[in-house]
Amino acid sequence: MGTVVSDRMAKTRVVVITRFKKHPKYLKYYKVTRRFKAHDEANEYRIGDKVWIEETRPLSKEKRWNIVGKVEEKKGLAGASS
């Protein structure tokens, strides 16, 4: 699961996946970010969309991922103050 950060290319989206990694000596967590070029046949995903990607055969020099679908977020929970 990642976030679309670029939609400038035709049928290709750049998806960023961020995770936390623990330093072996200092035991501190730090952020590691990877960028994947993923195939989007219908050009339907835009910047900021959270999407699922899956590995596929090589489609071009750097593109080896396919966008499966959008992550559905639960509505009504964010911003609800009681």
Q: What is the pLDDT of residues 15-65, one digit of tens each?
A: 999 999 999 999 999 999 999 999 999 999 999 999 999 999 999 999 999
pLDDT at 77 over 80: no
The residues, any chain, with a CB within 8 Å of residue 28's CB and separated by 6 or more, are 22
Cα–Cα distance measured from residue 81 to residue 7, given in angstroms and rounded to the nearest whole number = 34
Question: 76 lies in a domain?
Answer: no
What CATH number did the domain enclosing 27 receive? 2.40.50.140
DSSP assignment of 18-70 equals: EEEEE-TTT--EEEEEEEEEEE-TT----TT-EEEEEE-S--SSS--EEEEEE
Task: Report the number of distinct structural domains present in the chain.
Answer: 1
Question: 53 lies in a domain?
Answer: yes
> Tokens at residue 15, please?
């998806």
Q: Residue 21: which domain range?
A: 2-70
